[in-house]
Structure 1
Amino acid sequence: MFAADAASRALGIRLLASGPGSATAAVVVTETMLNGQGSTHGGHVFLLADTAFAVACNAAFSPTVAAAASITFLAPTGLGDELVAEAVERVRQGRSGICDVTVRCGDRVVAEFRGNSREVHPRAQRPE
C-alpha cells in the first residue's frame, strides 16, 4: 500500500517497519514543511501519523480507510528534525478498528494521534 502512496513519498516519508496492526514511518523536516512561526506545520505531523496509521490498518486485512482521526500536538519541532511515527492497532471488531500513533522527535513525544478505521469491501470486478 505504501508503494502506491504518492503523497507520503513526495514529502519524503519513509516506511521503516510494518506488520499486521503496526507500522513505523519517519520524515526529516524540510524548509517547505515549516509554518509561519518557523516550526513544523501541524498538517505535516498529522500526515506522517496518518501514513503510519494507514499502513498499520492495511497490513493484514482487506482494504481499510480512515473513518475519523484526531491529533494532540504536545511539542514543537523544526527544520532538520527527524520525526518518527509508531502506529499500533489497539482493537479490531468486525470491520472497525482503533489505532494509536505516537510521534517522536528523538526521545521526546511531540504528538499523539488516534485513528478510527473501517474495512471496506473490495469493489466488485467488472467483466472485461
Structure 2
Amino acid sequence: MSEPAATSNHHAEAVKELMLQHDAFSKLLGLQVDEVGPGYCRLHFTVRPDMVNGFGALHGGVTFSAADSAFAFACNSHGRQSVGLTVTIDYLEAGKVGDLITVEAREESLKHKVGVYQVRATTQSGAVLALFKGTAYRTSNEIL
C-alpha cells in the first residue's frame, strides 16, 4: 500500500474511532464496523428479536439506521465534518431474526461541498435487503 493510501486509511480509522465514542445509537443496534477507508465503510449486525416488526420482519427503521450509520462513517472519513443533506432508501427484501446483515457504503462522487454515496444492505446469503442513496453536505469543520 502506498504511503498516501496508508495515511488516508489511518485517518479514516481515527475518525471512525472518534465517532464511535459518542455514537450511542449505533452501539444500541449492535453495529460492528469491519472496515473504513476514504469514502468507504462496511459494517454488520445480527438481527435480534427486538428489531422486528409485528410480522416478524426486520423493521425498516433498523435497516435505515444501519445504512445511515455506514453513510456517516463513509462521508466523514475524509476528516471534514459532513451531514446528511438528503437520503432515499428502497426496501427490496425483509430480514429476519438471526440474519447477519452487511451494510456497505461507497462514495460515488466527492466535491468540495457535496459527497454522494450508495449504500447496500445484504444478508449472509447475498439477498439485497435495501439500497440507500445519501448526499452529504461537507462543512469546513475539520474532525481531527
2:42 & 2:121 partners in 1: Cα distance?
A: 10
1:85 & 1:44 partners in 2: Cα distance?
A: 12
1:10 shift after superposition: 1.4
Matching of residue 115 in structure 1 with residue 134 in structure 2 = yes
1:121 & 1:93 partners in 2: Cα distance?
A: 13
Counterparts in 2 of 1:58-73, with a 5 A limit?
A: 58-73=76-91
1:5 shift after superposition: 1.1
More helix, by proportion: 2
Counterparts in 2 of 1:1-128, with a 5 A limit?
A: 1-106=19-124, 107-122=126-141
1:60 & 1:117 partners in 2: Cα distance?
A: 12
Once superposed, which parts of structure 1, at least 4 consecutive aligned residues long, lie more than 3 Å away? none
Letter in 2 for 1:120: T
What whole-Å deviation, never above 9, does each CA across 1:15-65 have from its counterpart, x for those lacking one?
010000000011111111010111000000001111111000011131001
What whole-Å deviation, never above 9, does each CA across 1:58-81 have from its counterpart, x for those lacking one?
111310010011100001111011
1:74 & 1:2 partners in 2: Cα distance?
A: 29
Q: Secondary structure at the match of 1:120?
A: strand
Whether contact under 8 Å (1:2, 1:15) holds in the other structure is no
In angstroms, what is the RMSD of aligned CA positions? 1.2
2:102 & 2:89 partners in 1: Cα distance?
A: 15
Question: Which consecutive residues of structure 1, in runs of 5 or more, have no partner in the other structure?
Answer: 124-128
Whether contact under 8 Å (1:18, 1:59) holds in the other structure is yes
- The percentage of counterpart residues that share the same residue type is 33
TM-score by length of 1: 0.92
TM-score by length of 2: 0.82
1:110 shift after superposition: 1.0
Q: Secondary structure at the match of 2:80?
A: coil
Question: Which consecutive residues of structure 2, in runs of 5 or more, have no partner in the other structure?
Answer: 1-18
